[in-house]
Structures are given as structure tokens and as C-alpha cells.
Amino acid sequence: MIEPAFVPVRERWDEMNKGRRITMTFLLLGSFLFPGAAASADTENEKIASAVHVLEQIMTIPEKGIPPQLLENAQGVAVIPGVIKVGFVVGGRHGTGILMVRRPEGGWSAPSFISLTGGSIGWQIGAQSTDVILVFKNPRSIEGILKGKFTLGGDAAVAAGPVGRRVEGATDAQLQAEIYSYSRSRGLFAGVSLEGSALQIKNEANAEYYGKGVEAEEIFSGRVSPSSSEVKQLQRILGKYAGN
């Protein structure tokens, strides 16, 4: 069979556009799955300020926020603003944020900077930005994060958290989870599945913010106590909603 000598202009244009979309998607995906290859414009103070904004916005959603009972009993809270999910066939997500732990004597520690990275397989295309909050039920998960890369669903059970002023409607699986996960995307707030995503301490960001050689364990123990207005505001907001 003789192939046609030409392809209609519209078909060629569509194919070129499709090729460009695929190329751009893979470039974006690579930058998020390998974050070291792309520099972040956010400073540490801007990241803390973003975390404050996310907490305030989510907790003021009437009857739809994180149940106060969960926060009051939480041993740690992570806020990761603007997690990017991007994919074409192979999907991925990446974001950076902060993690704070409840101090034994009361109150909340200064924040340690963390990253959230994960991937998935499936026919998907597009990009989406989501704010993520993780509520830690016990200190064991915090200890796991301090030891290195920590996988949600692997190193600790994670479940999409219940919303509203009560937790009676939560399933047994949710109530038995060690970590509850929430997201806010396009104005909607709900529990979210983050199975397989990895949490990791960002030591370089901690060193940049607190000083060379400062580790997350020192931050959580209270041996490092920054006096910046951003940290104080974050501790005040978390104390308002989570107690102490």
C-alpha cells in the first residue's frame, strides 16, 4: 500500500501540539520527582508563613475542618503547602513544608523543614497544586522520620482523616491509623490518601534557617529556640487549635 504523500495540516498541527504537551509534562514531572534539580524560590520564612496561612484557612471552615479532638491529642502536625501532583502515565507529587511536635512540658516545638515525595502508576495527565496537613497520633512516627526517609503506609499506617467537629463517623481503619492526612485543593477540603509517599527531613533547610550543624532532633527537643516572628505566630496558631 502506498502511503499518502502528505498529512493534512490539521493532523500535523495536532500531533505537534500533542508532542509539545507530552514533552512539557515530562519536564515538569522530572523537576518534581527530582527536586534537587530545580531551585525553590521560597525562603524558609516564606514557607513558615505559608503554613500559618494554610492552618488558619483550613481551621476556619465551618463544620468541615480537622476535628478538634484529633488535634488536641496530636503528637505532631505537618503542613506542606502547595504540593504539586503532576503526571503523564507515571505520576508523581512533591512539596516542602514544616513539621512540629508537641513538647512534653506543653506547647509546640519550633518547626523542622521536611519534604513530601511520592509517585503512582496510571493513565493520568495534568498538574495540580494541593495543600497537605498530616496529623500524627503518636510519637513513634516522629521518631521514624528522624531516622531517615519515612514511607506513609509502609513505616506507619496512614488514613484519610475524618472532617467535621466530631469523629464518631470515622471508620475503624481511620481510628486505628497512626497518621491522618488531609488536603485542600481548589477550595475543597477533605481527607486524602498518601499511601507510598515519603517524608524526609530537609537538613540543608534546617541548617540554612537555624545554623550550620543543627539537626531536627535538637529542634524538636527545644534546644533550638528561634525568636523569629514567623515561628512564634506558627506556634501560637497551632496552640490555638491543637491545645497548649
Q: How far apart are CA 37 and CA 205, in angstroms?
A: 16
Helix (H, G, I), strand (E, B) or coil at 94: strand
Distances (CA, A) of 208 to 20, 104, 109, 204: 38, 27, 18, 6
pLDDT in tens, the chain (244 residues): 444 444 454 444 344 444 444 334 434 444 444 444 333 335 888 999 999 999 888 887 766 778 888 888 899 999 999 887 766 555 677 899 999 999 988 889 999 999 999 865 444 455 677 889 999 999 999 999 999 989 998 899 888 888 876 555 454 444 678 999 988 876 677 778 788 899 999 999 999 899 888 999 999 998 887 768 889 999 999 998 888 7
Each residue of 49-90: pLDDT tens digit?
999 999 888 887 766 778 888 888 899 999 999 887 766 555
Q: From CA 147, how far away is CA 15, in angstroms rounded? A: 48
What count of other Cβ atoms lies within 10 Å of the Cβ of residue 132?
A: 23
Dist. CA 16–CA 151, nearest whole Å: 39
